Amino acid sequence: MNLLSLENITKAYTERVLLDGASFFLQEGEKVGIIGINGTGKSTLLKLAAGLEEPDTGSCTKANHVVIRYLPQTPEFDDSCTVWEHVEKKISESTQWDMEGEAKSMLRTLGIVRLEQKISELSGGQRKRLALAEILMQPCDILVLDEPTNHLDHAMAAWLEDYLKRWRGSLIMVTHDRYFLDSVSNRIVEIDKGKIYSYDTNYSGFLELKAQREEMEAATERKRQSILRVELEWVKRGARARSTKQKARLERYEEMKNQHGPQSDGQVSMSSITTRMGNTTIEIDGISKSYGGHTFIRDFSYIFLKNDRVGFVGTNGCGKTTLMKLLAGREEPDSGSIKVGQTIRIGYYSQEIETSKEAGIAYMDPKMRVIDYIRETAEFVRTEDGLISASAMLERFLFPPQAQYSLIGKLSGGERRRLNLLRVLMESPNVLILDEPTNDLDISTLTILEDYLDHYQGIVIVVSHDRYFLDRTVNRIFAFEAGGVLRQYEGGYTDYALKAGESAQCNLSVQDGIISSAAGGTEGADTDSEAGGRAAYENYRANRERKLKFSYKEKQEYETIEQDILDLEDKLESLDAEMAANATNSKRLSELAAEREQTEADLEHKMERWEYLEELAEKIHAQG
């Protein structure tokens, strides 16, 4: 059954045409993921579907008695109300007679237990969960969700993913979370240059089908160009124009010549921009930080190594952003010290775009022109491609010349985030601090950012709830646990989740109706819920199959293996240098190449052993 139809829709804002004769249909039971680069009209399409905006031309039709609930990207509330006062207003607007019990149950499930708390005191994650509770507690036929996982911690995002997979209604959503999108959606809709393309598959299938579509378009274009070359040679020979056939052939040539080939998607182009780094990086020595009698960070020490890739995870409000501000020098620890090397230049990509002048250089004035915002940082920047102007860098970040003189206030949320990211990179940092970098950035930009970080010559420090992004970019994770303790795990997010037993604990907690994690409970949860989460985790640990321990040989190997790996990496660097010096000596070059191949094999073996021993050590530690 067709629930919703948007036919031949056109929608423009000033000179920007977002949708141009596009059509969208939603069938009963479909779960549709909307994707496209920032500024192409994803949020606009959701508002049209939800009935919040009208198209310039075309029609929007929904089936009789269909109820739609809409979650905006940035929920708005009356900050003077308490949580329960806000919910009571929604209950009074509902026709359900027993909404109060349903509302309290949903709020508790989403970890919102302080109903008397003022909305103005809620964090971004709490506000998002309150907005989710508001739409999920009321029955509907269609859910329209704009970035539902933004600001949600891992445990909450996992709960929402499971809830939507089991939900029987229809769903339209925009999300950058590729694991979430792949798991929940059964159809992908892509907005590209004002048109809509539909793929009856999840995100993984979409990638394959889109590649096939682009290859077919490219093949058609290659065939057109081949025919044009033949026709051009015929025209050059001086075709006789008297016969009807010859005239028709000339007309066909002109028609084919004037056709446009397939347009490639605009893609952000990032060139490496870094500054030389000395021997001293960032050294953290026993820092602690508390607010209002609650300790967020307790006695944390770590020395960042050159080219480190480190992620920080934990529940909303556990102190991740606070730690990033400490590293960036925006706040001071209560105790301990942070030593920053003289050559270190920190680029801080904050979770929220600064909107006050007191924020200093990161301030984004809506009345400022795009080009002026970037020129405040640098008129030119040196990249691996040479000296690049601010205007050229903007073009690489999908801001064409005509858009560079637009006001920042006219940009979409995603475009502002992309502009802010460019400004951070223009500062030529050799340490990148990325606090929730995936919020509001489109998937295309994220994949290019991930590739950029692969080749970035510097330290990358990431706070993110995006499991895919963490798996893709970091090789070490620190998890915030109870009492402000940070625990170290090697690998990406999936490795961390397996080692921490997070999945098992999350499932146990959800069964009790409370979202909690190994980090000691969800932000805003009361003491009883925290205790319940810890009890569930202890129960999980108590049911481990057997007692693990190192053998004598494994213990000796574990104590020396990290140094062995460093020695092998140093040897590889030395061999590379010697090979470069002997580039014209074929015999010596051959010997060095063979030695390098063997060293690489030894290093790979050592890395595999290190992963096994590290995992075994974590399991032994978890046993207590």
pLDDT in tens, 166-209: 999 999 999 988 889 999 999 999 998 888 989 998 888 888 88
Give the pLDDT of residue 361: 45
Q: Measured between alpha carbons, how far is 456 from 307 in angstroms, rounded to an integer?
A: 8
* Unique residue bearing structure tokens 């609650």: 294
**What is the per-residue DSSP string for 215-260?**
HHHHHHHHHHHHHHHHHHHHHHTT---SSHHHHHHHHHHHHHHT--
DSSP 463: E
Mean pLDDT across 16-20: 87
* Residue 536 clears pLDDT 50, i.e. is over it: no
Which of 254-268, 515-529, 577-591 is least confident? 515-529
pLDDT above 90 for 433: yes
- Tokens for 104, please give them: 């309290």
Q: What residue type is 239 in one-letter code?
A: A
Residue 305 CB coordination number (10 Å): 12
- Please tell me what DSSP assigns to residue 343: T
Q: Percent of the chain scored above 70 by pLDDT?
A: 80
> Tell me: the pLDDT tens digits for 354-386?
655 544 445 688 888 999 988 888 888 777 777
Q: What class is the 2-208 domain?
A: alpha beta
pLDDT of residue 522: 35
Look at residue 502 and tell me whether its pLDDT is greater than 50. no
The beta strand positions in 123-220, using DSSP E, are 142-146, 170-174, 187-192, 195-199
Among 299-308, 346-355, 392-401, 496-505, where is mean pLDDT lowest?
496-505
pLDDT at 526: 37
Q: What is the mean pLDDT of residues 83-91?
A: 87
pLDDT at 110 over 80: yes
For residue 55, CA distances in Å to 19, 48, 71, 146 come to 9, 7, 20, 19
pLDDT at 15 over 90: no
Tell me what percent of the residues of the chain surpass a pLDDT of 90.
29
Mean pLDDT score of the chain: 80
Mean pLDDT of 332-348: 93
The pLDDT assigned to 532 comes to 38
According to the CATH classification, is domain 548-623 in 1.10.287.380?
yes
pLDDT of residue 445: 81
In this predicted structure, which of 17-21, 128-132, 167-171, 619-623 has the lowest mean pLDDT? 619-623
Q: Where are the beta strands (DSSP E) in 482-556?
A: 485-490
Tokens of 1: 């059954």
CA dihedral 322, 324, 327, 331 (to 10 degrees): -30
In the predicted structure, residue 14 carries a pLDDT above the cut 90: no
pLDDT in tens, 210-222: 777 677 777 776 7
Beta-sheet pairing, 309-313 with 476-481: parallel
Q: At 438, is the secondary structure helix, strand, or coil?
A: coil
Phi, psi of 490 (to 5 degrees): -95, 140
Question: Residue ranges of the alpha helices (H) in 284-366?
Answer: 320-327
In this structure, what DSSP letter does residue 82 have?
B
How is residue 119 annotated by DSSP?
G
pLDDT of 566 higher than 70: yes
d(CA 243, CA 232): 18
pTM: 0.65
Identify the band that residue 506 occupies on the pLDDT scale cut at 50, 70 and 90: very low
**Is it the case that residue 591 has pLDDT exceeding 70?**
yes
Query: Is the Cα torsion angle 395, 398, 401, 405 positive or negative in sign?
Result: negative
CATH number of 282-504: 3.40.50.10210, 3.40.50.720, 3.40.109.10, 3.40.50.300?
3.40.50.300
- Which pLDDT does position 413 carry in this prediction? 78
The yes-or-no verdict on residue 504 having pLDDT over 50 is no
d(CA 494, CA 491): 8
